[in-house]
Chains A and B, each alone.
Chain A
Amino acid sequence: MNESRQVNVSADNLSRVFSALADPTRRDIVARLSDGDATVGELAAPYDVSMQAISKHLKVLEDAGLVTKGRDAQRRPVHLEATVLDLMTKWIERYRKNAEERYRRLDDVLDSIPDDPDPTQPSQTREPK
């Protein structure tokens, strides 16, 4: 695999992680796997859906790289790849922090400007005072 293809694949994968986690059942499965590995049967137990439906959800999570299946042929326990989840969470948290920093500066700007005498005409300030 050459380098440019790798970058494309990762951009796709990030999107896949986002869309995989867009579904509430899949988020629930991920939350339960964060407590430890589980079999498909164990994961399906609390839901009023077929094993097949849960397997489909797991396939989506697997394709996104979020979970893997164990080698044990009998149980094939599902394992959460926490690193992938951590990476995505870090991305979003970093983005949130940047927005927060920016808005803290806006807080300071808001503190520095006097109350507008005529709030119906706030956009007329075109030149710096």
Chain B
Amino acid sequence: MNAALIIIFATIILSAFLGIYAGRRVKMNLENWTVGGRKFGIIIIWLLMAGEIYTTFTFLGASGWAYSKGAPTFYILIYGALAYTVSFFVLPALWKVGKRYGLHTQPDFFIKRYDSRYLGVFVALIGVVCIIPYLQLQLKGLGLIVQVASNGAVHPQIAIGISFVLTCAFVYTSGIKGTAWVAVVKDILMILAVFIVGIGVPYIYFGGFGKMFKTLIEQKPDYLVFPGAVPEMDVLWIMSTLLVMGFGFYMWPHVFGSAFSARSARIIKRNAVIMPFYQIPILLIFMVGFTALLVIPGLEDGDMAFLALVNKTYPSWFMGFVGAAGAVTAMVPSAILVLFASTLLAKNVCQTGFRPRMSEEKVMTLSRFMVLVIMTFALIFAIFLPNELVPLLIFGYNGVSQFFPGVVLGLFWKRVARTGVFCGLIAGVTVVLILILSKNDPFLGMNAGFVGLAVNSVITVLVSLKTKPSNGGIK
């Protein structure tokens, strides 16, 4: 066994134990399991939200896009700043409603605000369909990272299998609190790895990032302005994608849910203020991708650029450290995704849709069982059908952003009605699906999700104005 392997496995096993340990002496009911009893302070909320933003996609994808596409990768640096700005205005109002009515999930909000069980079930199902491909992507990324970091000694399926068991264990026992504790480990490792590599490689090969960019401007200037190396990702695509992601980010069921875990609305507001700082290390990830473009051009898979360059530059124990950081970086978002997907299925599909009188304890037991079901499902896809869910992955962000009109209008406009939200949501999702499946994304240079969101908003408003207001649940 080499040093890299020992570092990777010691890290993921210790992290999982930390996660399990976090849940000791907490009586696990649904409130504690999903929203941490609404007791989280600013630091833990920050770590948790950061845990949701920095995924393996950020690690491998941001450098991979810099390497294979160039400037379009800059959207990854930008959209967070927009999303936090939106959250500054929207989330505190949402937190207050959540607190007043004891809401745990996103569909809970729709059910309460629009007084409609069916809308709740519909929202829950769209949420789960969007989450599962993301979960699979995390597992797949984890397998890849551990394989490369161990220099091929560990087969990806074994790495996926081990982390699958560990992640299930700490989510099952400790819920959101366990995840938050593991997120601390993840953030420290991840930030260290990104700073060391991001500052290190431009310096080692070029003597600094300024000289690296100078070489890049001489050799591949196209990579540094839109549309980079991909003509269909021109500036209009970037702008429409940024709007979809800025509005859509907090519409992910798990990100939406984390708003309920805060102790107060003020904590959420202050969190929105400090969140954009978390974006800055992404710049360093770009540096790694651009350096790789100059130093090791011609990789078949751009997403491997980060790992390939580290492998070429650093000793193998350091590769083990990066592998460990990468593996935990996949485990934390996986945990959050599966936690929320299972709660959606148990609470908002089974209980809301079919068994309204199911007791809180039963919902809790069912949620935990669903953790195993969903993880197994994602595991099977990750191992046997690694590419089958790619269209769903593209659908994911565009799909969840369709909740935006229903949430924001629901919070701030009394007139918006159930039928309007239903029609808008169906229209938006249908437009997105048609554009993606007929290969018309981008449509007229715009992101398909943006087109869907525009149609959705117009229909929601028009239909609401023509129908009776349904303000069933909220003051």
Asked if A and B bind, the verdict is: no
Measured CB to CB, the residues of B under 8 A from A are none
